[in-house]
């Protein structure tokens, strides 16, 4: 079951071309995953407001705690380069191997990081098992009533 892009209720829905490009780049990024402990590989590709695509993979650590998720790798790479406007992110994650066996929804910490920089009504999250098999949701759907910068204004 996957949602047609026409059903997405957001201000600026992605085109089919954008969706395909993001999923392809997320799959490529997953190949860079450093995950010798969990053997769970994740890749993410994020579309910035200016059209550039920033990728990330999960990076694990022998002390476990410092492990960074693929989504946050992409966000921190982007923000550290001065990019702060984002439209969408594609995520692919599954146990080691070329096959994507599950939809990898972002963890709670990554959803909160998204909340810092993205409009929950408009930021689109694609979780994909292949180029053709994916779900798209907005951040607001994945993090309802989220706490963000607006609360502190
Ligand atoms: N992981 C991500 O990269 N993104 C998520 O949203 C969930 C989990 C990574 C962290 C760790 O390297 C591995 O998946 C298993 O938890």
> DSSP per residue over 20-71, as a string?
HHHHHHHHHHHTT-B-TTT-EEEEEEEEETTS-EEEEE-B--TTSTT-B-HH
Cα dihedral angle (7, 8, 12, 15), rounded to 10 degrees?
-70
Q: What angle do CA 40, 41, 43 make, to 5 degrees?
A: 145
Q: What is the pTM of this model?
A: 0.95
Tokens of 112: 């909160």
Angstrom distance (rounded) from CA 15 to CA 84: 21
What is the atom index within ligand 1 of the atom nearest the CA of 57? 3
What is the atom index within ligand 1 of the atom nearest the CA of 59? 12
Summarised one tens digit per residue, pLDDT across range 42-84 is: 999 999 999 999 999 999 999 999 999 999 999 999 999 999 9
Residue nearest to atom 2 of ligand 1 (CA): 69
Whether ligand 1 lies within 6 angstroms of the CB of 60 is answered as: yes
Ligand 1 pocket test, candidate residues 32, 39, 92, 93, most atoms within 8 A of CB: 93
Whether ligand 1 lies within 6 angstroms of the CB of 38 is answered as: yes
Summarised one tens digit per residue, pLDDT across range 17-29 is: 999 999 999 999 9
């Amino acid at each position: 079951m996957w949602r047609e892009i026409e059903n997405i209720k957001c201000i600026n829905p992605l085109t089919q071309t954008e969706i395909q490009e993001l999923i392809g780049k997320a799959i490529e990024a997953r190949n860079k995953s450093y995950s010798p402990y969990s053997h769970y590989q994740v890749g993410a590709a994020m579309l910035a407001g200016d059209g550039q695509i920033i990728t990330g993979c999960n990076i694990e650590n022998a002390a476990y705690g410092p492990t960074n998720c693929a989504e946050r790798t992409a966000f921190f790479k982007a923000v550290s380069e001065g990019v702060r406007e984002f439209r969408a992110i594609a995520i692919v994650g599954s146990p080691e191997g070329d096959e994507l066996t599950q939809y990898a929804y972002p963890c709670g910490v990554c959803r909160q990081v998204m909340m810092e920089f993205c409009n929950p009504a408009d930021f689109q999250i694609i979780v994909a098992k292949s180029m053709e098999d994916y779900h798209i949701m907005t951040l607001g759907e994945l993090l309802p009533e989220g706490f963000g910068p607006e609360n502190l204004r």
